[in-house]
């Protein structure tokens, strides 16, 4: 493994394997060609052409979402979408624009709609040593079971804001009180585009840093994290460099932290690949 391997595996997207999903004149998703083909049998909802799929279901956001839910139900029945997550994400051409529909989280990679998350680097200094709180994901997580994770991380569900999601997830995942989470500092965003078994992940992660009190011990409440450990940040970085123990995108969040904090320095042969590889320009 190397740092660049992690970046490459999160950016293995190949435009030749994908057609756009459009709504009116805007692109709202990226359909792998096999997934696009699977939509031909729903002509009332999607018009599948050679080089694009157009959303043709009409009505307000509730009506369009309901029509797409019926499609997803069939796809779940046929195992083309893994299962209902019963948590929906807003789908819009760009962040901040009005959503066109809401989509069950489980179907997001199938349609390749852009998804947004929040990740929190919880750090503190023990003497001269910068340390990071690292979580271990539960064995029954659908995505990346047993992998290492940031102190807090979660997807931004429909209608929820970035900070609101941070407060909710920080409380559920690590029992961090709102009064402390309010001090978290937004430190940028990571973006990547990745093909997985299910389709395309077109992900944007809002990154926050929070200096943790020395006596605070995170405790998970929602069963998603089984264990937290405070590790020297330099050891975390070496773990990223040499293993695949961290969840795929958490490697990128830690690399971003390492670059911003000067843990990774210009004399590292991979420095520029890391510093310029974590922020795929949005289109």
Q: Are 22 and 55 in contact (CB under 8 A)?
A: yes
| Least spacing, CB of residue 23 vs a copy of itself, in Å | 20
Task: Closer to a copy of itself by CB, 61 or 187: give it.
Answer: 187
| Least spacing, CB of residue 256 vs a copy of itself, in Å | 9
Task: Closer to a copy of itself by CB, 35 or 121: give it.
Answer: 121
Residues that bind a copy of itself (CB under 8 A): 95-96, 161-163, 185-189, 191, 204, 206, 259-262, 264-267, 269, 271-273, 275-282
Task: Closer to a copy of itself by CB, 24 or 96: give it.
Answer: 96
Q: Which residue has the tokens 């999903």?
A: 21
Helix, strand or coil for residue 117? Answer: strand
Task: Closer to a copy of itself by CB, 199 or 277: give it.
Answer: 277
Task: Closer to a copy of itself by CB, 30 or 81: give it.
Answer: 30
Name the phi and psi angles at 81, rounded to 5. Answer: -120, 135
Return the number of other C-beta atoms located less than 10 Å from residue 283's C-beta.
7
Q: Which of 95, 126, 111 is nearest to 20 (CA)?
A: 111
3-class SS letters over 162-200: HHHHHHHHHHHHHCCCHHHHCCCEEEEEEEEEEEECCEE
| Least spacing, CB of residue 278 vs a copy of itself, in Å | 7
Task: Closer to a copy of itself by CB, 48 or 251: give it.
Answer: 251
Task: Closer to a copy of itself by CB, 197 or 265: give it.
Answer: 265
Helix, strand or coil for residue 12? Answer: coil
| Least spacing, CB of residue 221 vs a copy of itself, in Å | 25
| Least spacing, CB of residue 37 vs a copy of itself, in Å | 31
Q: Which residue has the tokens 């997207």?
A: 13
| Least spacing, CB of residue 272 vs a copy of itself, in Å | 5
Task: Closer to a copy of itself by CB, 147 or 260: give it.
Answer: 260
Q: In this structure, which long-range contacts are made by residues 223-226, counting pairs with CB atoms below 8 Å and at least 24 apart in sequence?
A: 223/138, 224/137, 224/138, 224/141, 224/172, 224/173, 225/135, 225/136, 225/137, 225/138, 225/149, 225/173, 225/174, 226/136, 226/137, 226/138, 226/139
Torsion of CA 149, 155, 161, 165, to 10 degrees: -50
Taking CA 116 as the corner, what is the angle to CA 105 and CA 202, rounded to the nearest 5 degrees?
80
| Least spacing, CB of residue 103 vs a copy of itself, in Å | 20
Dihedral angle sign, alpha carbons of residues 254, 275, 211, 168: negative
């Amino acid at each position: 493994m190397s740092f660049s391997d992690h970046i490459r595996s999160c950016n293995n997207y190949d435009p030749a394997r994908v057609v756009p999903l459009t709504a009116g004149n805007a692109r709202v998703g990226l359909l792998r060609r096999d997934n696009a083909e699977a939509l031909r049998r729903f002509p009332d909802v999607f018009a599948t052409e050679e080089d694009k799929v157009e959303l043709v279901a009409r009505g307000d956001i509730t009506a369009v979402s309901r029509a797409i839910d019926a499609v997803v139900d069939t796809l779940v029945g046929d195992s083309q979408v893994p299962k209902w997550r019963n948590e929906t994400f807003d789908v819009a051409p760009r962040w901040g624009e009005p959503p066109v529909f809401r989509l069950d989280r489980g179907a997001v990679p199938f349609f390749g709609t852009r998804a947004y998350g929040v990740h929190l680097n919880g750090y503190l200094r023990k003497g001269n040593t910068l340390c990071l709180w690292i979580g271990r994901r539960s064995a029954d997580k659908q995505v990346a079971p047993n992998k290492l994770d940031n102190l807090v991380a979660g997807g931004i569900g429909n209608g929820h804001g970035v900070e609101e999601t941070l407060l909710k997830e920080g409380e559920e995942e690590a029992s961090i009180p709102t009064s402390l989470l309010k001090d978290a500092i937004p430190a940028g965003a990571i973006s990547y585009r990745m093909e997985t078994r299910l389709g395309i992940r077109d992900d944007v992660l809002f990154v926050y840093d929070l200096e943790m009190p020395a006596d605070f011990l995170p405790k998970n409440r929602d069963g998603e994290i089984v264990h937290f450990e405070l590790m020297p940040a330099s050891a975390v970085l070496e773990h990223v460099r040499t293993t695949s123990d961290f969840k795929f995108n958490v490697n990128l969040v830690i690399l971003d932290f390492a670059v911003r904090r000067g843990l990774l320095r210009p004399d590292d042969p991979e420095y520029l690949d890391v510093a310029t590889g974590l922020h795929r320009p949005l289109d």
